[in-house]
Chains A and B, each alone.
Chain A
Amino acid sequence: MLLDLLQSFLRVGIGAYGGGMAVIRLIYHEIVDVQGWLSAQEMAEVTALAEMTPGPIAVNAATYTGFCVAGVAGAALATVAVLLPSLVFLFLLLGLRRSGRTKNGLVKLGKLLQPGVVALLAAAVWSLGRATVTGWLPALFAAGSAFLLLFGRARIHPVLVIILFGLLGVAFL
């Protein structure tokens, strides 16, 4: 099981482009769809917790998921595994002495990956939405949080939005 966990999060680490939120869908694929270690609802909780704790979301989500699957050892393993591919890339990059061509190539690759990252985010909305939007009130919550973040005055911090709707959930759900 630990070996499966290691392999899963190495793959997640390789695909971890475009910020933490896109990684959620990669973890979802490995942990919910393929391994069935967590339910979609649990994955939504992990995502909320990863956003609410300090640090990069991808690392937080890996640590939480690892812990849920295999305790402290799982948490440590998943965290190291999700970071390892990026370290290998950075080692290679520093080894290549950062020639202008490699750098340009990487920036170009980053741009080419962006439509894929948008698709990952959209797929995450679909998967998380099916687990969390269970009635008209949660649907209103989801729409409200997206609206606040897109159009809210003076960019509201996402963590505050999550806590706000969490408290509304305690009151109304």
Chain B
Amino acid sequence: MSGRLPIFAQLFGTFFFVGLFTWGGGYAMIPLISREVLEKRRWLTEEEFREALALGSSVPGPIASNLAFLCGAKIGGIAGGLVAQLGCVLPSFLVILGIAAGLSRFFSAPLAHRFFLGAGAAVTGLVAASALRLASPLVHGFADFFLVASCLALILGLRVHPLFALIWAVVLGVVLRRWRHAS
């Protein structure tokens, strides 16, 4: 069946499926994308997939939709990339509109309010866990700690736009690296 559908329809369908059935963000989507694109469809080789993964995570934007674009572009050029990305993002867009439009009355119910009090606290813990997981291989000495702390001070203390904190991280990171090489 898959052989007869035009390639754009296949791209759209595959990434729509991926977008619909992966919960928990972009990193949770990678295994499913790899299964669809590498094992089932054989659109990319393992080497190409690894390269797409590296590229997709080194530009801004969600890794999953970047990966969808790069896989699609490999098969069908820029248009293929756009079709794949649309397929990847459309399910969540529709689900959210459905929830927001259909269940808005439900959200103001006291029961839902208590659910989100608990869920919100859990999300705070979740973000803390991902911060710790990312920081642990990264922060080794005083210099690394100072780097992170100075970015945090910029965001929370001086209330600069978080983009400037990211730029500051790059600039200070380069300086620290030079300094380490020199000494």
Number of interface residues, chain A, beta carbon within 8 A: 102
Tell me the complex Cα distance, A17–B61, Å: 6
Q: Does B168 sit within 8 A of A, measured CB to CB? A: yes
Is A64 a contact of B100 with CB atoms below 8 Å? Answer: yes
Residue of A nearest to B20 (CB): A54
Task: Find chain A residues with CB under 8 A from B81 CB.
Answer: 90
Instruction: From the candidates A29, A83, A128, A131, name the one contacting B85 in the complex (CB within 8 A).
Output: A83
Instruction: From the candidates A26, A103, A121, A141, name the one contacting B122 in the complex (CB within 8 A).
Output: A141
Is B93 a contact of A58 with CB atoms below 8 Å? Answer: no
Q: Does B91 sit within 8 A of A, measured CB to CB? A: yes
Q: Flag B119-146 by CB within 8 Å of A: 1 or 0 each.
A: 1111111111111111100110000100
Task: Find chain A residues with CB under 8 A from B114 CB.
Answer: 169-170, 173
A170 → chain B closest CB, angstroms: 5
Is B133 a contact of A150 with CB atoms below 8 Å? Answer: yes
**Count of inter-chain pairs, beta carbons less than 8 A:** 335
A151 → chain B closest CB, angstroms: 9
Q: Flag B137-167 by CB within 8 Å of A: 1 or 0 each.
A: 0110000100111011011100101110110
Instruction: From the candidates A56, A89, A91, A141, name the one contacting B62 in the complex (CB within 8 A).
Output: A56
Q: Does B31 sit within 8 A of A, measured CB to CB? A: no
Instruction: From the candidates B61, B126, B148, name the one contacting A122 in the complex (CB within 8 A).
Output: B148
Interface range on chain B (Cβ under 8 Å from partner): 35 or more
Q: List 27 A-B contacts (CB under 8 A).
A: A15-B162, A25-B155, A45-B107, A45-B119, A47-B123, A54-B21, A55-B91, A55-B93, A56-B88, A56-B92, A59-B89, A63-B93, A83-B85, A86-B66, A87-B82, A89-B60, A114-B138, A117-B166, A118-B151, A123-B152, A132-B117, A138-B118, A138-B121, A149-B125, A150-B132, A169-B114, A170-B114
Which 10 interchain pairs have the tightest Cβ spacing? Answer: A169-B118, A86-B61, A55-B92, A116-B169, A145-B125, A119-B151, A56-B62, A165-B122, A121-B131, A146-B125
Known: A143-B125, A146-B129, A170-B114. 5 other contacts (CB 8 A): A116-B165, A118-B135, A142-B121, A142-B128, A145-B124
